[in-house]
Amino acid sequence: MSRPFILLADGLPDLAQPLDLSALSALHPLWAADAAALAPFAGADTLGQAAAAALVVCGECASTMDVARHLAGQGALGPWGSVIAPVQNAGRGQLRRAWLSRPGNLLATLACPLESGPWNDLRPLVLGYLFAEALSALGQAVQVKWPNDILCAERKVAGILVEERANCVLAGIGLNIAWAPGEAELRAGHTVAAGKYHPLNEALGPFQLWAALVNHVETGYRTLLEAFSPNEFLTIFQTRMAWQGRRVLVQEGASVRYEAVVRGISGEGGLVLDRAGQRVVLLAGDVIPI
């Protein structure tokens, strides 16, 4: 589908720096290809004239999540609208952990439609599954590490952070396509090594890849909600879930650690574990394969 987009050439006060296409080209070869595609639209920075589902390209920012939240609050970003930036200087992941990235990687936030009932409760899993499906269609096959980290060949290539505030649901995603942090750069106690995702067309820059991903995710979302119940989705989710049937080390908080086997997903979206013959449902925590 064709998706309108705008460039925030003048930036946003206290949120995003001005966007300069020549500087964008110099950041990374992948952004150079995107800058060439964006150049004819360099003056399209008027939010009031943009569709709420537009793809907004901004300059360096603290976080695309912050920019998207501001735009949504102004009525300038609605469901399936999104924000992408070449650089974040304060990106964050789960539990407010810093998200490490460099120019060339994909850093974006998607505004999602609000749903009531079980679908809203399952949103983190739904988004993890839909992005995994989209990425697998556009490149390497990937899996979901519960609830919504994206793994490729047992390495984490993307993280998704879902936040709901003031009738606005935002999903921030960081995808490693140009660079991945090494072991020494990751936080102490990290559970999975980082890796890079390779699209089938490796000439695609972050902007062009993001536009394709949003189209896939929106189409998949509409199909999913029309064709399946929440319970049926939980069965489908497990086809993309990493470490089914494998023994893992479970971490709940700072002090609780135990071994268990991954068995599936509960009705509320928790991770079902077999702990020495006892069924355990993990609603918050982390797992590490053994």
- Span 44-66, mean pLDDT? 78
What's the pLDDT score for residue 91?
A: 56
Neighbour order of strands in the sheet with 143-145: 5-7, 55-57, 82-85, 106-112, 168-175, 155-165, 149-152, 143-145
pLDDT, tens digit, 9 for 90 and up, residues 85-140: 999 987 555 545 566 778 999 999 999 998 888 898 899 999 999 999 999 999 99
SS3 243: coil
Given a cut of 70, whether residue 227 has pLDDT beyond it is yes
Q: In this prediction, what percent of the chain has a pLDDT beyond 70? A: 89
What's the pLDDT score for residue 165?
A: 75
For residues 65-93, one letter each, b for 16 or more C-beta atoms within 10 angstroms of the residue's C-beta and e for the rest, the string is bbbbbbbbeeebbebbbbbbbbbbeebbb
Q: Which of the pair, 258 or 48, is modelled with greater confidence?
A: 258
- Span 22-49, mean pLDDT? 77
| Predicted TM-score (pTM) of this structure | 0.92
Average pLDDT, the chain: 89
Domains of the chain (ranges, CATH numbers) = 5-237 (3.30.930.10), 247-289 (2.30.30)
| Closest C-alpha among 141, 147, 108 to residue 127 | 147
What's the pLDDT score for residue 188?
A: 52
Given a cut of 90, whether residue 38 has pLDDT beyond it is no
**Helix boundaries (H) for 52-205:** 64-73, 118-121, 123-138
pLDDT, tens digit, 9 for 90 and up, residues 166-205: 678 999 999 999 999 876 665 555 568 999 999 999 889 9
Q: In this prediction, what percent of the chain has a pLDDT beyond 90? A: 66
| Closest C-alpha among 101, 108, 87, 99 to residue 23 | 87
What's the pLDDT score for residue 45?
A: 47
Given a cut of 90, whether residue 276 has pLDDT beyond it is yes
Tokens read off for 26: 């110099």
